[in-house]
């Protein structure tokens, strides 16, 4: 039986996860948040005082960190060595470590296998950085979702504010630009728009407009 896949790639803070979740819910697909997997590994490195620059340690400790995915009430849960870390990985520190440690092919290949296996078993909306170019190059629909760095910083600032966290918007933008640079310029499977991906700039679009547009695109190819 054929399983359908929608790949949504793009830089940090472009709204990928919110939109991917909406699209998945509407189409009754499974939402796969690949960033959460890199974040779970990053949490392992932070907890064990392993620096992102320490390639050898990262490589040798990769096998000690078991990352698995579970679904509870339709929501993806990430388990790190059987501990549910879904809530613990949503910090800037973990996000930055995920970006820095995901440059190593050993880290990436471990998680790519998990991601491809999920897509073999179900219809998926998968978001990440290189889903359309590397993880699922044969995806039925590929979207490259972006927005200006200031707009993305503004969104993250408001998200943090809602959670009661005060932050400096200019610092957030600086962080975002740094993360973009690292994700786009790493040697192995960098963040890049696939040749056959639809480019969507969400700077002046609402979440619902973007989600509806993607659903329409999918209905046309199905
Ligand atoms: O999407 P996110 O902010 O949760 O991702 C955190 C970091 O993980 C991101 O900056 C780079 C890395 N990542 C990746 O390299 N490939 C993916 N498919 C997803 C995330």
Model confidence pLDDT, tens digit, residues 89-102: 998 899 999 999 99
102 CB within 6 A, ligand 1: yes
Domains of the chain: which residue ranges? 5-221
pLDDT of 74 higher than 90: no
- pLDDT tens for 26-51 read 999 999 999 999 999 999 999 999 99
pLDDT of 58 higher than 90: yes
CATH fold, domain 5-221, is Rossmann fold (3.40.50)
Output the CA–CA distances (angstroms, integers) from residue 12 to 146, 150, 203, 205, in the order listed.
9, 12, 13, 17
- pLDDT tens for 11-21 read 999 999 999 99
Q: Please report the pLDDT score of residue 92 as a whole number.
A: 86
Please give the distance, rounded to the nearest whole angstrom, from the Cα atom of residue 183 to the centre of ligand 1: 8
Please give the distance, rounded to the nearest whole angstrom, from the Cα atom of residue 129 to the centre of ligand 1: 6
How many Å apart are CA 159 and CA 153, to the nearest integer? 10
């Amino acid at each position: 039986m054929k399983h359908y896949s929608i790949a949504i790639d793009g830089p940090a803070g472009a709204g990928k996860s919110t939109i991917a979740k909406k699209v998945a819910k509407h189409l009754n697909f499974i939402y796969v948040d690949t960033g959460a997997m890199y974040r779970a590994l990053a949490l392992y490195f932070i907890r064990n005082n392993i620096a992102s620059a320490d390639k050898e340690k990262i490589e040798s400790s990769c096998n000690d960190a078991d990352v698995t995915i579970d679904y509870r009430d339709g929501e993806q849960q990430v388990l790190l060595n059987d501990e549910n870390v879904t809530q613990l990985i949503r910090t800037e520190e973990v996000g930055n470590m995920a970006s820095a440690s995901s440059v190593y092919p050993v880290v990436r290949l471990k998680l790519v296998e998990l991601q491809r296996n999920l897509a073999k078993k179900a219809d998926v909306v998968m978001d990440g950085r290189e889903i359309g170019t590397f993880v699922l190059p044969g995806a039925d629909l590929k979207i490259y979702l972006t927005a200006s760095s200031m707009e993305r910083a503004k969104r993250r600032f408001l998200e943090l504010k809602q959670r009661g966290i005060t932050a400096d918007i200019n610092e957030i933008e600086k962080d975002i630009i740094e993360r973009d640079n690292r994700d786009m310029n790493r040697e192995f499977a960098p963040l890049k728009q696939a040749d056959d991906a639809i480019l969507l700039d969400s700077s002046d679009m609402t979440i619902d407009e973007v989600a509806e547009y993607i659903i329409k695109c999918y209905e046309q190819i199905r």
